[in-house]
């Protein structure tokens, strides 16, 4: 469905000049589009910065590229889950590993159900599944996906409360068959006015 997938772009104008043009935005935007616009079939939000993250198993530190993603992430991009249940991405403290990361960290030990500890902060997560390594031509370079529910568990109602500030997310939408992106763009100003003071 690549022809129906779009990454959201935000353009900010201040004092008559363009101050920003890029994919970083507030966390609730994609889900609001899904709820308010019939043209949108699926939506997902991930943290913008796919950063190297330290995880520890048996006192050994591993550096893996991780994002934090909403529960529809695997469905949106057609990821192939080779172990575990993709629905666990909707459960707090659930972590998914690429096949390569699972091999590096666990060798021949079955990873699903095992726990890892983050070096910074020391919180523990459970490996809920393993996905097939992403192809080299993907713009998503990652080996770990952490459930966004983990953030909701720790920070409260981020869906409503994070329209202002906390803008370090990226959004993707899948449009319904036959819908042109221009049709959706035309409805965005009114939708934004509904949720916050754009000015």
Q: Could you read off the pLDDT of 138-174 as tens digits, one per residue?
A: 888 999 999 988 877 766 566 656 677 677 899 999 9
- Other C-beta atoms closer than 10 Å to the C-beta of 72 total 20
Bigger pLDDT: 73 or 120? 73
Average confidence (pLDDT) over 33-46: 95
Say whether 173 sits in a helix, a strand or coil. strand
- 172, 44 in Cβ contact below 8 A? yes
Confidence (pLDDT) at 147: 93
pLDDT in tens, 75-127: 998 899 999 999 999 999 999 999 999 999 999 999 999 999 988 767 899 99
Confidence (pLDDT) at 38: 96
Confidence (pLDDT) at 20: 87
- In terms of Cβ atoms closer than 10 Å to its own Cβ (0-12, 13-18, 19+), residue 28 is buried
Confidence (pLDDT) at 51: 83
Residue 26 in this model has a pLDDT that exceeds 90:
no
The pTM (predicted TM-score) of the whole model is: 0.88
Confidence (pLDDT) at 50: 85
d(CA 8, CA 21): 11
Nearest C-alpha neighbor of 175 from the set 34, 36, 77: 34
């Amino acid at each position: 469905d690549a022809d129906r997938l779009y990454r959201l772009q935000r353009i900010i104008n201040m004092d008559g000049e363009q101050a920003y043009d890029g994919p970083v935005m507030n966390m609730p935007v994609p889900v609001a589009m899904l709820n308010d616009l019939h043209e949108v079939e699926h939506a997902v939000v991930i943290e913008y910065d796919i950063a190297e993250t330290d995880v520890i198993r048996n006192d050994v530190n591993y550096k893996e590229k991780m994002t934090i993603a909403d529960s529809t992430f695997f469905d949106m991009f057609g990821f192939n889950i080779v172990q575990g249940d993709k629905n666990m991405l909707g459960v707090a403290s659930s972590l998914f590993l690429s096949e390569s990361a699972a091999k590096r960290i666990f060798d021949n030990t079955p990873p699903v159900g095992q726990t890892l500890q983050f070096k910074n902060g020391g919180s523990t997560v459970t490996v809920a599944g393993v996905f097939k390594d992403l192809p080299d031509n993907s713009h998503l370079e990652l080996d770990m996906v952490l459930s966004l529910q983990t953030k909701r568990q720790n920070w409260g109602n981020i869906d409503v409360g994070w329209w202002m500030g906390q803008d370090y997310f990226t959004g993707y939408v899948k449009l319904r068959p036959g819908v042109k992106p221009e049709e959706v763009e035309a409805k965005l100003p009114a939708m934004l006015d509904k949720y916050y003071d754009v000015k």
